[in-house]
Amino acid sequence: MNAVPLRKDEIFATPSKDQKAQDQEEGAPLLPVTKEGAPVTTALKLPFGLKLPEPRAAFETAWPPLAGIGGFLALWALLAPLVQTSLGALPGPGDVWSAFLALIEEYQAARVTAAESVAAGYAFTGPPTFIDQIVTSLETVAAGFLLATVVAVPLGLVAGMSRRVNAAINPIVQIMRPVSPLAWLPIVTMVVSASMVSDDPSLPKAFVISAVVVMLCSLWPTLINTAIGTASIDKDLIAVGRVLRLGWFARLTRLVLPSSLPYIFTGMRLSLGTGWMVLIAAEMLSQNPGLGKFVWDEFQNGSEKSLARIMVAVVVIGLIGFALDRVMMAMQAFVSRNRTV
């Protein structure tokens, strides 16, 4: 049998359109293939340019904190029965979870009672539930944090851009920064009580007192970090601004503010954490509504369930503080993702 020789153009000839259609009908892969023959998969597109992590990388990132939390819960469950208090043994994770579910049931029952009262034409006058106290604390810390940011960021920018302003306010900042919220609380209480003399104020007096205390104690980290970030801008950028004859406001918005954003957000994260801690202490001592008052009321109650309910409040306070910090980190990443300076 004689072999028929093949020409070079027959070996490397490209298939025609009819041949391609026939190959697809016979089961050729529809996905694009690599040189090794593996299909190419397209990545899932997420909004804002976010990307899903690789499964192995996600596992390597997730397992250490999960293992740490699991070990902490196991150690807590083992050691809690050994710690005796005046109200009994320290509650373990199971007791705290049961107390949390009971607080949720109390909130749901209170909502049903409030709806019935409103339907009957009466105002609901029951005590605030645990969820209501959480909402009140979040509203108060948000108001105090916003006030602190509005004061600290502009003042820090001016102090960072002017050595004379920095030298003028630096002694005041260093003296006022270490003052405890316990020292501010009676002063703020007397000032606000003397200022708000209306019988029906637009904001509750207790809310204003707590918000002002939060502001006075949380504005310093933002002020200091903003001033440091503004003063540490690359001198070449300042020289470029002078060459372009940028005005003070244009230099502030185009050069200074974008370059100091990481410092500003670092200060805001520290201020928010400080404000959250200060708020709980202020609510506890001044008996203003919020989680701090909830903890103090449960301590004064002294029932069998009080210790577990206090532990629920402690865990919730920590989780909210962690969530607030993550929110600030996400805001920083979102604002800084398109920085060009």
pLDDT in tens, 266-325: 999 999 999 999 998 888 887 788 899 999 998 888 777 889 999 999 999 999 999 999
Residue 51 domain flag? no
Does residue 17 sit within a domain?
Answer: no
Give the count of domains, the chain: 1
- pLDDT at position 25, please? 47
46 — pLDDT class (breaks 50, 70, 90): low
What phi-psi label fits residue 196: left (phi over 0), alpha (psi between -120 and 50 degrees) or beta?
beta
DSSP 8-state secondary structure symbol assigned to residue 317:
H
Whole-angstrom Cα distance, residue 81 to residue 73?
Answer: 13
Q: What is the reported pTM?
A: 0.76
Q: DSSP character for 44? A: P
Closest CA to 214 of 172, 185, 245: 185
Question: Does a structural domain hold residue 103?
Answer: no
Distance (Å, whole) CA 303 – CA 296: 13
Q: What is the pLDDT of residues 150-200, one digit of tens each?
A: 999 999 988 888 889 989 999 999 998 888 888 888 899 899 888 887 777
Helix/strand/coil (H/E/C) assignment for every residue in 222-236 = HHHHHHHHHHCCCHH
The domain that holds 317 is classified in CATH as 1.10.3720.10
Q: Please report which helix (H) or strand (E) contains residue 89, including its range.
A: strand 88-89
What distance in Å separates the CA atoms of residue 109 and residue 118, rounded to the nearest whole number? 14
Among candidate residues 264, 266, 257, 262, the one with its CA nearest the CA of residue 237: 257
Q: Give the integer Cα–Cα distance in Å for 165 and 24.
A: 75
Residue 157 lies in a domain: yes
169 belongs to a structural domain: yes
* DSSP H stretches of helix in the chain: 8-11, 17-25, 55-79, 93-119, 130-161, 163-176, 181-195, 205-231, 235-243, 248-251, 257-286, 291-301, 306-336
Give the tokens for residue 48: 């804002």
Inside any domain, residue 86: no
Q: Which domain holds residue 160?
A: 127-336
Report if residue 93 sits inside a domain. no
